[in-house]
A and B are shown apart, each in its own frame.
Chain A
């Protein structure tokens, strides 16, 4: 579904991604792991069209999107739930969800809001509250809910467990697994290696802007050198 070939990208003259290739098939859940500064968020923002790639090729659903505008990428159904949530603090929970279907899924907006409320009953209790007044965990729920409102074909989740309490982290990963089982293709970008590998079918490890491992979680966990060198476990 998503094919990335030899992707180079970064900010201005600073090249962060130095030739990344990976692919994600329909219905998969794939983890991208790596420490701070490995290039995970740069990869996401390049995929979403927020920053232009330097070289390489990205195709989604068989169509090339390498230099597509961010609006066209969202319209195609490649939706990112960013690190740090990026919800609209001055808008209510409901308005945040409504804007999730700004480009896609507008016709089923009410229906999808109910679906998000079924997944996150907490958001329904906070429906008229401004997003800026929510707790970190609630904001994360809202960010994911807003992403789901666009009826994604592929959902990129950037550090969804960051800053959540251990109990919420458990819940979050259970939810991600459930969404995948319901048919959603997910690219899970995480620092939480253990939990991510438990729910993922395949994993990539990034280091200094390059892929240093790709394979199944079992292969990764049985490679003690790799684990020690890149994942610190």
Chain B
């Protein structure tokens, strides 16, 4: 049996990663729940956001956390435009086309990134990259604690927006009843694009929280996208609370699994959960039976 002194920091580390996973999955599940789009470009868009944070730091010397007010609106606008002028037009309203369009976008973005920035893995160094903080005897890296707090704060803001504002109500309404939404005057095309934009704004925030303790290369999104899909399935497709809880669970499973099985095999636990959920609770922890 592992000692608590090793297990406890591992759980804390898992929670910090899990909060960022949750943020990425929240964007994915928002887009899925409203637009019924499985956004295959989610990982590539996260990669773009990470490069954005990277270049803001390298060329302009902007601290990753200070680039939040740039990256979040920039990703939002990119998402709004992508949905309204590319995905919506190219798909002609057919869901199987949307799938292909987002997959195509991912391929284009990843290869453009390879072409422009090469396959080098890049990191940034900040004054706090290697500093740690003592939490009940566990030494946790400062960027990870910041990522945890920041990601949870953004998740909370997003849940509040969805629950308490007219835009949030409209987003949830459209997810189930488009015709009814049109009849109360909700601009469905606009709210679709807003949802996609908000989903990508989550990626912009996640990128700012990730980079100080992480790296970027053109294929970095692939690892995240697989985990994000697992989280969405675990939490329940389209469930916002599910994405949050699922993210934290997956983060801890990955971290503790790595402790037992070693870094490279640690992710086995994630896929074990994925299979178990599909077998025994296909609607997910917080999902509603179809």
Which residue numbers of A lie inside 8 Å of B, CB to CB?
48, 50, 69-71, 73-75, 79-82, 85-91, 95, 98-100, 102-104, 106, 146, 150
Contact = CB atoms under 8 A, between A and B. Distances in A.
A75 B185 CA distance: 7
B184 A89 contact: no
Interface string B157-182: 00000000010011011011101111
Given A80-B183, A102-B185, A90 B170 contact: no
A95 B169 contact: yes
A100 B166 CA distance: 10
Given A86-B180, A102-B170, A74 B175 contact: no
A77 B90 CA distance: 34
Nearest to A88: B173
B187 to A, nearest CB: 5
A102 B172 CA distance: 14
B186 interface: yes
Contact of A146 (B172, B184, B187): B184
Given A88-B172, A88-B173, A91-B169, A102 B180 contact: no
A86 B169 contact: no
Interface string B135-172: 00000000000000000000000000000001001101
Given A86-B177, A89-B176, A91-B173, A99 B184 contact: yes
B185 A86 contact: no
Residue of B175, B179, B182, B183 ringed by the most chain A CB atoms within 10 A: B183
10 contacts: A71-B186, A75-B185, A79-B184, A86-B180, A87-B177, A88-B181, A89-B176, A90-B172, A99-B181, A103-B186
Given A82-B183, A102-B185, A89 B177 contact: yes
A48 B183 contact: yes
A197 B206 CA distance: 61
Contact of B169 (A75, A85, A87, A99): A99
Contacts of B176: 88-90
Given A99-B166, A99-B169, A99-B173, A50 B179 contact: yes
B177 A88 contact: yes
B177 A104 contact: no
A86 B173 contact: no
A98 B172 contact: no
Nearest to A89: B176
A99 B170 contact: yes
Contacts of A48: 182-183
Given A71-B185, A150-B184, 16 more contacts: A48-B182, A50-B183, A74-B185, A79-B183, A85-B180, A86-B177, A87-B177, A88-B172, A89-B177, A90-B173, A90-B176, A91-B173, A98-B169, A100-B184, A102-B184, A103-B185
A193 B177 CA distance: 30
Contacts of A104: 185
Contacts of B173: 88, 90-91, 95, 99
B183 A86 contact: yes
B191 to A, nearest CB: 10
A70 B172 contact: no
A147 B184 CA distance: 7
Contacts of A99: 166, 169-170, 173, 181, 184, 186
Interface string B21-52: 00000000000000000000000000000000
Residue with the greatest number of chain B CB neighbours at <10 A, chosen from A71, A75, A88: A88
Given A90-B172, A98-B166, A99-B169, A74 B180 contact: no
A86 B186 CA distance: 14
B179 A102 contact: no
B169 A70 contact: no
B175 A90 contact: yes
A24 B94 CA distance: 39
A103 B183 CA distance: 11
Nearest to B176: A90
A87 B183 contact: no
Which of B172, B181, B185 counts the most chain A CB atoms within 10 A? B185
Contacts of B185: 70-71, 73-75, 102-104, 150
Contacts of A74: 183-185
A82 B179 contact: yes
Contacts of B181: 88, 99
Contacts of A70: 182-183, 185
A161 to B, nearest CB: 19
